[in-house]
């Protein structure tokens, strides 16, 4: 079985990371391989005092006091060179614990200083030090109304580094997360919970919000991202003869080295996740996966072209139902489709279809 080292950089990276660990630990108690980095202490200290404190190795944390002040250059240039050796040493230590290191899984935001500046500096360091190990990056992009005034500049500067030094990027748009949460709030507050949104669905469940007693502004949004990462990594976290590694996903979906940004979507979002999915629900889930309402980044692929597509299905799903749906969509707009089916996290079906 392969392993990944998770690198959580900056406030956003650490908050989403912890939400993800909370969910992952519910699924199975595993050995943790994570390095937590933030150039201010607040978020990491909170983690150390919270319910996840025993999950992280206190020797694998790196913090400073001032933060990067939402300045990409401070994170990249100042803290990058100052902490390079210390960070590398901790990354090497984590890597040594892995029998078969599959990838570095970096979580950060684009809009601040540390995650954006230092996070992307690390990608170059990882590339030099571990050229064979994939760098898979989850990047949170600022919304139009972001209160960090420098976020557009930080994002552009970080984007250049992602282009050059990441193997695969999963962009998450805070605006999309906000829209999903707003839709939920609207329905929940109108008292009409039922037909579209069920209690304990992915977005209304508090699982993954590790500080339930004191909800923070990003908790609900982070819960969605953590659920996406949970599904994405499930194939790597559970044993299974046909399971996919994360780097295999990138290998199949990235046609050219710099075309490495994936549009992600998640379903069910509004209804209760069910292990035994009836065929009609499955059909709806397939349709939802390609609708704008379920995407975690604002894009409309229906008006463009899919170069490659991966569908990761968890639960007790019949292969025949999957085939039927692939054929249904193949006619509409797919050029190439790869399907990964995860049956209770233990089986993956891979079936490339080429249609030109």
Ligand X SMILES: Nc1nc2c(ncn2[C@@H]2O[C@H](COP(=O)(O)OP(=O)(O)OP(=O)(O)O)[C@@H](O)[C@H]2O)c(=O)[nH]1
Contacts to ligand X by CB under 6 A:
10-12, 15-16, 38-40, 67-70, 109, 111-116, 140, 142, 146, 148, 151, 174, 177, 218, 221-222
In whole angstroms, the minimum distance from the beta carbon of 147 to ligand X comes to 7
- By beta-carbon proximity to ligand X, the closer residue of 16 and 246 is 16
In whole angstroms, the minimum distance from the beta carbon of 106 to ligand X comes to 12
Binders of Mg ion: how many residues, by CB under 5 A?
Answer: 3
Vertex 149: Cα angle to 143 and 152 (nearest 5): 55
- By beta-carbon proximity to Mg ion, the closer residue of 67 and 80 is 67
Helix, strand, coil percentages (3-state) for the chain, rounded to 5, are 45, 15, 40
151 binds, among Mg ion, ligand X, none (CB under 5 to 8 A by kind): ligand X
Q: Given the rule CB under 5 A, which of 3-11, 13-21, 186-194, 337-345 is the region that contacts Mg ion?
A: 3-11
In whole angstroms, the minimum distance from the beta carbon of 245 to Mg ion comes to 32
What is the gyration radius of the CA atoms in the chain, in angstroms?
A: 20
Does position 154 interact with Mg ion (CB under 5 A)? The reply is: no
Quick check: bond before 268 cis, omega within 30?
yes
Q: Which residue is nearest to Mg ion (CB)?
A: 11
CA distances from 36 to 83, 115, 237, 347 (A): 13, 11, 20, 32
In whole angstroms, the minimum distance from the beta carbon of 271 to ligand X comes to 23
113 binds, among Mg ion, ligand X, none (CB under 5 to 8 A by kind): ligand X
**Which residues, including other chains, have CB under 8 Å from residue 44's CB and lie 6 or more apart?**
14, 36, 38, 61, 63
Among 3, 4, 11, 231, binds Mg ion (CB under 5 A): 11
283 binds, among ligand X, Mg ion, none (CB under 5 to 8 A by kind): none
Contact 296, 172 (CB under 8 A): yes
Torsion of Cα atoms, 147 then 36 then 89 then 66, to 10°: 40
In whole angstroms, the minimum distance from the beta carbon of 228 to ligand X comes to 12
- By beta-carbon proximity to ligand X, the closer residue of 68 and 265 is 68
Instruction: Tell me how crowded residue 166 is: count the other CB atoms within 10 A of its CB.
Output: 25
Does position 268 interact with Mg ion (CB under 5 A)? The reply is: no
Helix (H), strand (E) at residue 176: helix 174-189
Length of the chain: 356
In whole angstroms, the minimum distance from the beta carbon of 153 to ligand X comes to 12
111 binds, among ligand X, Mg ion, none (CB under 5 to 8 A by kind): ligand X
In the shown chain, the binding pattern of residues 238 to 257 toward Mg ion, with x for contact by CB under 5 A and - for none, equals --------------------
DSSP output for 218-271: THHHHHHHHHHHHHHHHHHHS--TTPPPHHHHHHHH-SSTT--B---B-SSSSS
Does position 111 interact with Mg ion (CB under 5 A)? The reply is: no
In the shown chain, the binding pattern of residues 33 to 62 toward Mg ion, with x for contact by CB under 5 A and - for none, equals -------x----------------------
337 binds, among Mg ion, ligand X, none (CB under 5 to 8 A by kind): none
**Which residues, including other chains, have CB under 8 Å from residue 279's CB and lie 6 or more apart?**
318, 321
Among 13, 67, 117, 208, binds Mg ion (CB under 5 A): 67
- By beta-carbon proximity to Mg ion, the closer residue of 40 and 321 is 40
CA distance 258 to 255: 9
In whole angstroms, the minimum distance from the beta carbon of 56 to ligand X comes to 17
Helix residue spans in 40-150 (DSSP H): 42-49, 72-73, 80-96, 119-129
In whole angstroms, the minimum distance from the beta carbon of 127 to ligand X comes to 20
In whole angstroms, the minimum distance from the beta carbon of 90 to ligand X comes to 18
Phi, psi of 74 (to 5 degrees): -65, -45
Does position 70 interact with Mg ion (CB under 5 A)? The reply is: no
Token pair 């990608």 is found at 123
Residues in touch with Mg ion (CB under 5 A) = 11, 40, 67
């Amino acid at each position: 079985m392969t392993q990944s080292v998770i690198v959580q950089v900056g406030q956003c990276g650490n908050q989403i990371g912890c939400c993800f660990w909370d969910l992952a630990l519910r699924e199975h108690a595993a050995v943790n391989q994570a390095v937590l980095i933030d150039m201010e202490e607040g978020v990491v200290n909170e983690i150390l005092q919270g319910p996840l404190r025993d999950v992280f190795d206190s020797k694998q944390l790196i913090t400073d006091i001032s933060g990067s002040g939402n300045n990409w250059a401070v994170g990249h240039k100042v803290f990058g060179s100052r902490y390079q050796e210390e960070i590398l040493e901790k990354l090497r230590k984590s890597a040594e614990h892995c029998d078969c290191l599959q990838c570095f899984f970096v979580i950060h935001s684009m809009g601040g200083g540390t995650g954006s500046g230092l996070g992307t500096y690390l990608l170059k360091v990882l590339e030099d030090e571990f050229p064979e190990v994939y760098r898979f990056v989850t990047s949170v992009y600022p919304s139009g109304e972001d209160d960090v005034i420098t976020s557009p500049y930080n994002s552009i500067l970080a984007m250049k580094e992602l282009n050059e030094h990441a193997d695969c990027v999963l962009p998450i748009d805070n605006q999309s997360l906000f829209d999903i949460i707003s839709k939920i709030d609207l329905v929940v507050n109108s008292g009409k919970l039922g037909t579209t949104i069920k209690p304990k669905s992915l977005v209304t469940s508090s699982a993954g919000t590790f500080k339930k007693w004191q909800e923070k502004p990003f908790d609900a949004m982070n819960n969605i991202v953590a659920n996406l990462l949970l599904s994405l990594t499930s194939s790597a976290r559970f044993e299974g003869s046909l399971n996919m590694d994360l780097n295999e996903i990138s290998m199949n979906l990235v046609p050219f080295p710099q075309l490495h940004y994936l549009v992600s979507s998640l379903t069910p979002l509004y209804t209760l996740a069910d292990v035994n999915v009836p065929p009609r629900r499955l059909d709806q889930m397939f349709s939802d996966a390609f609708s704008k309402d379920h995407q975690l980044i604002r894009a409309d692929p229906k008006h463009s072209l899919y170069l490659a597509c991966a569908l990761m299905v968890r639960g007790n799903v019949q292969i025949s139902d999957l085939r039927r749906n692939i054929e249904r969509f193949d006619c509409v707009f797919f050029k190439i489709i790869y399907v990964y089916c995860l049956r209770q996290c233990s089986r993956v079906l891979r079936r490339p279809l080429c249609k030109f």
